[in-house]
Structure 1
């Protein structure tokens, strides 16, 4: 009995072990990191997107921070290259000790970095890619914001087959993880509709001459080209098609939905279609919130926001909301739980509602079909499409 009482007394006298500190979170700061393309082939995406994340976080800090903490936002240039992304992620995680990583750019880059990143308990939130691997297979540290490339092309292809009578479908895609997501979507939708792929070509992201590939697709008799391309290769393929005088419909995914594609001089890209998880509305906005976003962006960065900037703004707003709801005791677990509790979030741009749950880490799988007319993107259908 005496021994038992003595053991209890000793146990009570020993202080409880201090909880492990959460990386990137102090009493006054939350460190958040991004690696993105600031000087490579997709810099028009990376620069504008990270600008909006910074703008939102700067405003959060100006308003007093989140639950007493200011956000320290660190952005590294990956030049759309895998080795640079690995280097940047290593710095952000091991030297800057970030709490989470957001808006990391590029499908192959995220796929290369994520295994080690996730193993270290650093969440990958709303990367600047719509690849399915950003949220599949389900992992409590992986979240995608909107519809995937796979979702986009399946929905768009279903529309073109059902509404436009397309029968001979071909793909021209990058030979990358990104391009494979596009071709997987095409093949699965064709299989669902008991159809087969008519033709396909693959290219490197740095390729510039597509005359031979276009000739092959022309000879195959394609009546719809689904492009697994970003900006530069989209413009080059469209230009190569136009040069031959071939009047074939072409559709891309969100990676091609950019003013650098729509605004090519001479209206070369007029008639090109793209699927997008949200509509670009800042340029012609009448909504006061969108106008305020555009004005703030112009004031801070000296230029108009593009589509990638809109994505960044929405993503940053959702992250800020989840951080706030996580409360003062911010941990990876409390942040993830708060993010999973977000339901039917509506951004200022009229995008499909964003919702998460413990078993659903993709905000939305709906997307809009748009077409270039007179150098500008215009929606084809008022409502988003699914499959």
Structure 2
């Protein structure tokens, strides 16, 4: 009897595994689309070390979805956005993505975070589920990895670091450049880009300090950079970590120039740092909120309407614009959208003009859609544009 019961249990296990495999491999037309609804999934860091960023991303995504639904949806269907919290942890992101694909059966995915996107992209590549415009970047593992299901609108961190560090040397008189970067694929990307920028100018990095994801105390890193005589620090960190780093440096009288990448081009940084934010540089890729462009005015109005408790930031703007692009891709996939049709539509974007991001360019062989930035700086408590658009070589 025990043997028979064991055999029945084992058969149940194999049957369950077969059902999961079938869920991943079933015809794409059966997933994420009904006569009335199209489902979009997202993984987001609503808890963990970057909850401010996660809340802003969700607010931007939801504002774009609600605005689209109030305007009639996409090809006669309402959009249902399903968001799962992953706490900015890769293992939780994997669980969240599997749930959204295998149980909720979303048509396409988006998300937040480089370490989480790296693991999500690998799974979604095998499951043949498009991953569209996540907030994150990695030259080797995302932007330039040749993944067929992944489409990036956020510039690779190697590209960003090369542009930012090079511009600071060329235009701000930096002599002893340094950086702080996270120990993960995104951090290695920043490090490689910074090294490329200084090498092109026959210079070297005076210091390159690392930290683990979730670090809150940067005392050791700033002391080493002060002792190395750094006159500029590239903060290859999350926005929250950047604020902690600058605060720690100020406590010991270390006052270099700072520049961050796109995730720090945000009003939240000024709120967190107060007067210490003055003079901080960052790269941006979005239309500025003070612009008179109709698309910016519509974005601000929709944020006020659908997310009145969330202030507009770089992250709300990126999420809003990225979700508009997701919806446009589904619309262009036709009245009966499938995952293959979405990818086919995207690969014809050469270019697609995003009203807030500028041109996005894809092809069948290149899914890295954005390679241009401009520099901004905090002046009198506000971000001000201080360069023209800079295109990566």
Alignment of 1:295 with 2:301, yes or no, is yes
C-alpha contact 1:22 1:99 (8 A) present in aligned 2: no
Structure 1, unpaired ranges of 5+? 1-17
TM superposition shift of 1:312: 1.2
C-alpha contact 2:181 2:236 (8 A) present in aligned 1: yes
Deviation string, structure 1 residues 336-363 (Cα, Å, up to 9, x no partner): 11111123333333x3321211122122
C-alpha contact 1:41 1:80 (8 A) present in aligned 2: yes
Deviation string, structure 1 residues 74-102 (Cα, Å, up to 9, x no partner): 00111111222122111101110111101
Name 1:322's counterpart in structure 2: 329
Match of 1:50 among 58, 61, 81: 58
Larger radius of gyration: 1
Name 1:347's counterpart in structure 2: 354
Give the direction of change, closer, same or farther, for the CA distance of 1:55–1:164 in structure 2 (3 Å limit): closer
Alignment of 1:333 with 2:340, yes or no, is yes
TM superposition shift of 1:175: 1.7
Match of 1:364 among 358, 361, 370: 370
Name 1:125's counterpart in structure 2: 132
Name 2:7's counterpart in structure 1: none
Name 1:152's counterpart in structure 2: 160
Give the direction of change, closer, same or farther, for the CA distance of 1:367–1:40 in structure 2 (3 Å limit): same
C-alpha contact 2:143 2:156 (8 A) present in aligned 1: no
TM superposition shift of 1:19: 7.1
Name 1:195's counterpart in structure 2: 203
Give the direction of change, closer, same or farther, for the CA distance of 1:22–1:134 in structure 2 (3 Å limit): farther
What TM-score do the two structures reach when normalised by structure 2?
0.87
Q: What is the CA–CA distance in structure 1 between the aligned matches of 2:329 and 2:120, rounded to whole Å?
A: 24
Alignment of 1:138 with 2:149, yes or no, is no
TM superposition shift of 1:50: 2.2
Q: What is the CA–CA distance in structure 1 between the aligned matches of 2:54 and 2:239, rounded to whole Å?
A: 12
Alignment of 1:64 with 2:72, yes or no, is yes
C-alpha contact 2:163 2:390 (8 A) present in aligned 1: no
Structure 2 SS opposite 1:353: strand
TM superposition shift of 1:385: 4.8
Give the direction of change, closer, same or farther, for the CA distance of 1:265–1:329 in structure 2 (3 Å limit): closer
TM superposition shift of 1:265: 5.4
Deviation string, structure 1 residues 94-116 (Cα, Å, up to 9, x no partner): 110111101x1111111122222
Q: What is the CA–CA distance in structure 2 between the aligned matches of 1:95 and 1:316, rounded to whole Å?
A: 22
Q: What is the CA–CA distance in structure 1 between the aligned matches of 2:275 and 2:106, rounded to whole Å?
A: 44
TM superposition shift of 1:226: 1.2
Number of aligned residue pairs: 366
Match of 2:86 among 72, 78, 91: 78
Give the direction of change, closer, same or farther, for the CA distance of 1:265–1:109 in structure 2 (3 Å limit): closer
Moved more, 63-72 or 353-362: 63-72
Name 1:4's counterpart in structure 2: none
C-alpha contact 2:198 2:205 (8 A) present in aligned 1: yes
TM superposition shift of 1:207: 2.2
C-alpha contact 1:147 1:366 (8 A) present in aligned 2: yes
Please show how residues 1-387 of structure 1 align to structure 2 within 5 Å. 21-102=29-110, 104-132=111-139, 133-264=141-272, 266-279=274-287, 281-282=288-289, 284-303=290-309, 304-349=311-356, 351-387=357-393
Name 2:12's counterpart in structure 1: none
Q: What is the CA–CA distance in structure 2 between the aligned matches of 1:275 and 1:341, rounded to whole Å?
A: 28
Deviation string, structure 1 residues 211-254 (Cα, Å, up to 9, x no partner): 22212111112222111111221011111222333331111111
C-alpha contact 1:149 1:254 (8 A) present in aligned 2: no
TM superposition shift of 1:163: 2.5
What TM-score do the two structures reach when normalised by structure 1?
0.88
C-alpha contact 1:174 1:202 (8 A) present in aligned 2: yes
Name 2:15's counterpart in structure 1: none
TM superposition shift of 1:185: 1.0
Deviation string, structure 1 residues 258-298 (Cα, Å, up to 9, x no partner): 2221223541121111122224x22x343343223212211
RMSD: 2.1
